[in-house]
């Protein structure tokens, strides 16, 4: 079933179109393919094919997912995938009626991202032992992550030519191949300079590499490996707050706003194409302000 679906020329031409026009990552394309695979599996059991689906069929599938306990966020992504797919088919005259027209995605309750307090971040950043080559590298990575709000994937894929310590800037190629320039900050610059002088060559052991933060095998580190490193230091620091792969990115944005940062500047630094994506952080900042008001204001 899966092999037949993946080789479906209609689906593959749709994915090729997304890849060529939007430069989407393999992970994003895989998510589209997975959504369409599961939908196709469902409708085939009903004796249907992708080109003959009605809005009633889509609604029945959404109800089926609801009964199976799928989260609204998952079904919302599915609806988005189907809208893109059937919009593509309509534009290319493969269907006459778009079954997704006027169909709304399930409403989402937007969760506030997990973040760390400034004290927790300070404790985390103080944990690595810079006399050890691996921990010297980790210290520089953590400082850079908190100073810039990079995605972990962006951090581990950085090359030497993408960072300028003379200018205090790092050049990021983010989602969809979009490029942005982000200032580094003095603390991160100092740790990166120290790492380049005392740690990186010990990791490489004379092996050539343009990766800024190589693994102990002189290769590009995986995001999963670095995430394990973060959790390792969090345990050592006694941090009990819930962590996610984007915890320091969230902390960067939240703390910047708490200290008066402009929302549009934070949007540019994070590489969000839509301001509404960044606005979630204003809720985090407001929650903190409300907390402080209650604690310190005489009529709080």
Domains and CATH numbers, the chain: 2-91 (1.10.150.130), 118-296 (1.10.443.10)
68/65 Cα distance (integer angstroms) = 5
Question: Catalytic one among 65, 137, 246, 250?
Answer: 246
The closest of 232, 146, 254 to 191, measured between CA atoms, is: 146
Which residues in the chain land under pLDDT 70? 1-8, 105-114, 245, 262-263, 265-266, 268, 271-300
Question: Catalytic one among 33, 65, 249, 255?
Answer: 249
The closest of 35, 138, 23, 144 to 81, measured between CA atoms, is: 35
pLDDT, residue 3, reads: 38
pLDDT, residue 6, reads: 45
Question: Catalytic one among 33, 151, 200, 255?
Answer: 151
Question: Catalytic one among 84, 94, 175, 223?
Answer: 175
pLDDT, residue 164, reads: 92
| Per-residue tokens: 293 | 């008001």
46 is catalytic: no
151 is catalytic: yes
pLDDT, residue 300, reads: 44
198 is catalytic: no
pLDDT, residue 107, reads: 57
Distance of CA 270 to the CA centre of its chain: 10
178/200 Cα distance (integer angstroms) = 28
281 is catalytic: yes
Question: Catalytic one among 32, 61, 233, 281?
Answer: 281
């Amino acid at each position: 079933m899966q092999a037949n679906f993946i080789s479906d020329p209609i689906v593959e031409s749709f994915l090729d179109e997304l890849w060529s026009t939007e430069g989407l990552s393999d992970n994003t394309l895989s998510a589209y393919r997975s959504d369409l695979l599961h939908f196709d599996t469902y409708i085939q059991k009903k004796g249907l094919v992708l080109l003959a689906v009605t809005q009633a069929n889509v609604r029945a599938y959404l109800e089926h997912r609801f009964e199976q306990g799928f989260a609204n966020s998952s079904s919302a992504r599915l609806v988005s995938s189907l809208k893109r797919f059937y919009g593509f088919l309509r534009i290319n005259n493969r269907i006459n009626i778009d079954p997704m027209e006027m169909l709304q995605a399930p409403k989402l309750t937007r969760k506030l991202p997990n973040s760390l307090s400034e004290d927790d971040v300070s404790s985390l950043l103080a944990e690595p032992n810079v006399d050890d080559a691996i921990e010297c590298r980790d210290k520089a990575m953590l400082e850079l992550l908190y100073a810039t709000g990079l995605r972990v994937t962006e951090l581990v894929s950085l090359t030497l030519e993408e960072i300028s310590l003379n200018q205090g800037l790092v050049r990021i190629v983010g989602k969809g191949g979009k490029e942005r320039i982000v200032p580094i900050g003095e603390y991160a610059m100092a740790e990166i300079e120290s790492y380049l002088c005392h740690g990186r060559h010990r990791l490489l052991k004379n092996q050539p590499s343009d990766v800024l933060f190589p693994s102990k095998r002189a290769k590009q580190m995986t995001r999963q490996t670095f995430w394990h490193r973060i959790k390792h230091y969090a345990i050592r620091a006694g941090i009990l707050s819930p962590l996610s792969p984007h915890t320091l990115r969230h902390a960067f944005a939240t703390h910047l706003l708490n200290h008066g940062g402009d929302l549009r500047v934070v949007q540019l630094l994070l590489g969000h194409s839509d301001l509404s994506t960044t606005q979630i952080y204003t809720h985090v900042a407001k929650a903190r302000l409300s907390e402080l008001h209650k604690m310190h204001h005489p009529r709080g």
